[in-house]
Structure 1
Amino acid sequence: MQYVRLGQSGLKVSRLCLGTMNMGSKEWKPWIFDEKESEPIIRHALDNGVNFIDLADFYSTGAGEEVVCNVLRRIGRRDEMVITTKVGYAMSDDINAQGHSRKHIFDAIDASLTRMGMDYVDIYMLHYFDTETPVEETMGALNDIVLAGKARYIGISTMTTGQLAKILMVCDKNGWQRPINMQLQLNCAYREEEREMIPFCMDQGIGVSVFSPLARGILTNDLQSNRNQTDFFTAEMYNDQASKDISYSVAKVADARGVLPAQIAQAWVLNKPEISSMLVGADTKEQVDSALAAVETKLTEEEIYELERNYTPCDLINDYTAGKRIPRTARPAKGDFA
């Protein structure tokens, strides 16, 4: 396993981060693994040097934190793990059980730590940017959580570059803890974060961890999985010809190497020096092995050209564009031009 310093912090994390959205309770989603099913995957990741574990209170509405940390307490050593959890998405029908208000952040960290059976989380992250709460309120609350010892660091996820700039400005103005990690979506079929967000994070000394390196499975040519048959975000995000052409290129490069497409798609992410760590949401130990192989896979210029040649710009994928995204195909003409 390779390890890197996360941003300008002193914290060192594995190049692979175990994603855990698929672990928790089947009552939440039919493709979720319970504790017994999750343990072999978690154990295999730890045995192969993964020290970075990604959680969120929203996953299985809290059951994800409980299930994963039950396993971690049983088979791992807390001081050797870097555990992150996220806050923001609704945890109940209560109007205040969501967002990034001071009330909810304080309630949420205590609830997360109780479910996890732990005294602190290494990185406490905003799951998105809450446009309804003053950023001063949010970042002040996170700073107080660090000062209280309930979190070692803070992080952010899935927002615009301008929103991150606003967060940093408020932190610097008040002398508060700055985020050390930005978690964002990046893969061969979605590269918009390379335009502004990733260069800005590099400039500001913020580590970048990447989720969805396989574009929710399309880069493995697996659109028939249980998840993709019940989770319709995949079709919204990647149901265009450009994404399909990119997946064909991934398959061609993989065939030429004699490896699985997943290894090539993950290697494309890990070959980027700006990327600190890549999340792996594995359903099997073999999928963990594919990501481990990708860490050591160096792509040639010719392979990278083939993987990137079909990419075309698209609108952002985030909470604010859900249900409104425009596929990368021409729109019909209107009025005098029809």
Structure 2
Amino acid sequence: MAYTTLGDTGLDVSRLCLGCMNFGSERSWMMNDRDASVDLIHEALDLGINFLDTANVYSTGESEEIVGDAVASANRDELVLATKVFGEMRDGPNGSGLSRKHILDQVEASLDRLGTDYIDLYQIHRWDDDTPIEETLAALDHLVETGRVRYIGASTMTAYQFTKALYTSDIEDYSRFACMQPEYSAVARHEEANLLEVCEAEGVGVIPWSPLAGGFLTGKYERDGDPTDGTRGAASESVRGYFIEENWDVLDEIRALAEAKGATPAQVALAWLLHREVVDAPIIGPRSSEHLRENVGAVSVDLSDEEAARIEAPKTPRWPAAGKD
């Protein structure tokens, strides 16, 4: 495994981050097997992945509990545990959002489920239109100052919102977002016209979610065929949204490069992200040992600038995204 620092911080993270949304029972496509989930996390740690990302809302806390069980015997000093806050955790007032109350309540619940005294990276899962960003940042800064959180991060918002948050942190001397978690893959490049320029200019780390476009870039779907029962493509309209002509053209280039390099399409798709200077650690979401090891193999796949350009050629990044851009 290779390592890098997260943005302009000194925090060492593996070049791949293990996404933990699959570890739970909320959806049919999740692993739905606690012991197997723990085993897969252990295998990821053995392969050198030290960066794990979850969220309080994933299976309403179940994912965090599984991660906590899995890392209980690990070397905590080497681990980078990341989780997120925003989503609805219960019905009724103050059950979601980024108010000071919700953040302070939820960080304690996440710490308990993860079985740890501190969270390395605490991220706001979405922008909250109902809470002033000053209130949110003050609460997050309090968590850093009191030692419950080491770094803070954000996910999925407009460049204006993110720039406003960074500016507010600078003006008010609050802890600054160290990283951004955007949707980003070879067939979802809209953030190149939105958040990524801000991240690059401000020294903010980038940890893309859905780097394989919900499985589309693994090559398991075909232009003229229906998704196989049991796949995310069959269960998710979001994944089927990738089934447009220019995305198939991207996949054709990825498949051709994979064949030439003796790699898999998934490995080439991840290697393309790792080739992007702004990207620190794509968030992978394997559900089996085979998929995990395949993903980790991407770290050893090198792409030239010309090869990366072949993958990029069919797409023109636009913001806001039109469909699955």
- Contact preservation (8 Å) 1:228, 1:234: yes
Q: What is the number of residues matched between the two proteins?
A: 317
Distance 1:103 1:14, change over 3 A: same
TM-score of the aligned structures, taking structure 1 as reference length = 0.89
Report the equivalent of 2:310. Answer: 306
Partner SS, residue 79 of structure 1: coil
Residue matched to 2:153? 155
Aligned to 1:110: 108
Q: What aligned pairs does 1:103-142 form with structure 2 within 5 A after superposition?
A: 103-142=101-140
Does 2:57 align with 1:58?
A: yes
Q: Deviations over 1:19-61 (max 9, x none)?
A: 001002x2x1112222211122211211111110101001111
Q: Following the alignment from structure 1 to structure 2, what is the Cα–Cα distance between the partners of residues 69 and 149?
A: 19
- Partner SS for 1:37: helix
Q: Does 1:227 align with 2:227?
A: no
* Correspondence for 2:70: 71
Q: AA paired with 2:23?
A: M
In structure 2, the residue matched to 1:334 is: none
Match of residue 94, structure 2, among 93, 96, 121: 96
Which deviates further from its counterpart, 195-204 or 42-51?
A: 195-204
In 2, the alpha carbon distance for the partners of 1:241 and 1:312 equals 13
Which residue of structure 1 lines up, in the alignment, with residue 5 of structure 2? Answer: 5
- Report if the CA contact (8 A) 1:16-1:279 is conserved: yes
- Partner of 1:185, secondary structure, is coil
Q: Which residue of 1 aligns with 2:216?
A: 218
How far did 1:315 drift? 4.5
Q: Please give the alpha-carbon distance, in whole angstroms, between the structure 2 residues aligned to 1:59 and 1:316.
A: 26
Partner of 1:47: 46
Matched, 1:282 2:322: no
Counterpart residue identity of residue 62, structure 2: A
C-alpha contact (below 8 Å) 1:220/1:262 kept by paired residues: yes
Give the conservation status (yes or no) of the 8 Å contact 1:315–1:326: no
Shift of 1:326: 4.1
Runs of 4+ aligned structure 1 residues displaced above 6 Å come to none
Distance 1:315 1:164 in 2: 15
Offset at 1:221?
A: 2.5
| 1:258 positional shift | 2.5
| Structure 2 stretches lacking a partner, 5+ long | 221-226
Displacement of 1:63 in angstroms is 0.5
Query: Matched residues in 1 for 2:94 and 2:275: separation?
Result: 42
**The 10-residue stretch of structure 1 (269-278 or 248-257) with the greater mean CA deviation from structure 2:** 248-257
- Tell me the TM-score normalized by structure 2: 0.93
Identity of aligned residues (%): 39
Post-superposition Cα deviations, 1:230-255, rounded to whole Å, max 9, x if no partner, equal: 2322124x132212221222112212
Q: Please report how far the alpha carbon of residue 289 of structure 1 lies from its aligned counterpart in structure 2 after TM superposition.
A: 1.8
Separation in 2, partners of 1:228, 1:148: 44
Residue 292 of structure 1: how far off its partner (Å): 2.0
Map of 1:162-311 to 2, 5 A cutoff? 162-222=160-220, 223-224=227-228, 225-236=230-241, 238-311=242-315
* Contact persistence 2:192–2:317 (CA under 8 A): no
SS at match of 2:178: strand
Coordinate RMSD, CA, aligned: 1.6
Match of 2:282, SS state, is strand
Instruction: Please state how far the C-alpha of 1:201 moved relative to its aligned partner.
Output: 1.1
The answer as to whether partners of 2:258 and 2:268 remain within 8 angstroms in 1 is yes
Contact conserved, 2:194 with 2:319, CA < 8 A, in 1?
Answer: no
Amino acid at match of 1:262: A
In 2: Cα distance, 1:185 partner to 1:177 partner = 24
| Structure 1 portions without partners, runs of 5+ | 318-324, 329-338
Q: 1:20 — aligned with what?
A: 20
